[in-house]
Structure 1
Amino acid sequence: MASGVKVDNAVIEKFHEFKIKKQIGYLVLGFSNDISKIVILKEGANTAPQNAPSAEKNKKWAEMLEELPENDVRYAVIDIFYETSEGSRAEIFFISWAPDTATIKRKMLCASSKDALKNALQGIRNHLQATCKSDLDLAAIISEKTKSK
């Protein structure tokens, strides 16, 4: 079920910059005012040094959560850092945010546009679908990732 909403080229360009340069900490995406395309709503800076511990690098997670509104849908892309027995790891996560308090129309729009966005953003293997902030508990997400390693 496709919504017909296009992914703005700036989103794809910023995502490539996010993956390669590592200066962008996260991207929060949403719909343009006329609902014709998915656009960048917020870009967070990556302020932690590359040799910083995982916990410091993940501080941007809380900042990204603040950008997810209580009553509307969003998408987000962020790196999560964690430690394994083999050393430090970083993985890109794609988040689909559709809180229960959003309108049914917006939740349907979010669901029907998600695949087009995921297909445009090449190289993401981790997807999270969240309806409340507790679905985005970073410690639980990291625990789930390290458990399977």
Structure 2
Amino acid sequence: MANAASGMAVDDECKLKFMELKTKRTYRYIIYKIEEKLKQVIVEKVGVPDQSYEDFTACLPENECRYTVFDFDFMTPENVPKSRIFFIAWSPDTARVRNKMIYASSKDRFKRELDGIQIELQATDPTEMGLDVIKGRVI
């Protein structure tokens, strides 16, 4: 079903991969891309569980927007291991205006398709989604 605002559909694989990340911890992260010709959001890349946050951020394009999900593991102040699923809307300042508009208009509906997101971030440059920012949002 296409999004009325942007006309973007969500490929079933997007939801399937997200469920695998959430329930089985099969992936560390998922990077989603809007395929304009197909008018849908697709899975562009997945990261294996042992990949780091740096591996994940290195996969994001410099001049194009993406939706991403990252499963962040951390220790609480009480020394209890926990994890949080982040939804990050990557919209670099250097992206084309049309690219930013399409991602912005499709974001809320796409995010609703992924049931289980715990924390959302909007980033326009790498410092806005640095590891210190991520850590600051979970503790």
TM-score with structure 2 setting the length? 0.91
Residue 140 of structure 1 and its aligned partner are, at CA, apart by: 2.7
Query: Unaligned regions of 5+ residues in structure 2, if any?
Result: none
1:2 aligns with 2:34: no
Distance in 2, matches of 1:28 and 1:140, equals 19
Given that 1:7 and 1:116 are in contact with CA atoms closer than 8 Å, whether structure 2 keeps it comes out as no
Distance in 1, matches of 2:133 and 2:23, equals 27
Given that 2:84 and 2:138 are in contact with CA atoms closer than 8 Å, whether structure 1 keeps it comes out as no
Distance in 2, matches of 1:128 and 1:93, equals 7
TM-score with structure 1 setting the length? 0.85
Q: Which secondary structure does the structure 2 equivalent of 1:100 belong to? A: coil
* 1:76 paired residue among 68, 81, 84: 68
Given that 1:18 and 1:24 are in contact with CA atoms closer than 8 Å, whether structure 2 keeps it comes out as yes
Closer, same or farther: CA 73–27 of 1 in aligned 2, 3 Å: same
Residue 43 of structure 1 and its aligned partner are, at CA, apart by: 0.8
Deviation beyond 4 Å, 4+ runs, structure 1: none
Q: Quote the RMSD (CA, aligned, Å).
A: 1.4
Distance in 1, matches of 2:30 and 2:125, equals 19
What does the per-residue CA deviation read over 1:44-97, in whole Å, with 9 as the maximum and x for residues that have no partner? 1112xxxxxxxxxxx521111111111100011011122213312100000000
Given that 2:21 and 2:71 are in contact with CA atoms closer than 8 Å, whether structure 1 keeps it comes out as no
Distance in 2, matches of 1:139 and 1:77, equals 17
Distance in 2, matches of 1:132 and 1:7, equals 26
Percent identical pairs in the alignment equals 36
Given that 2:34 and 2:40 are in contact with CA atoms closer than 8 Å, whether structure 1 keeps it comes out as yes
Corresponding residue for residue 43 of structure 2? 40
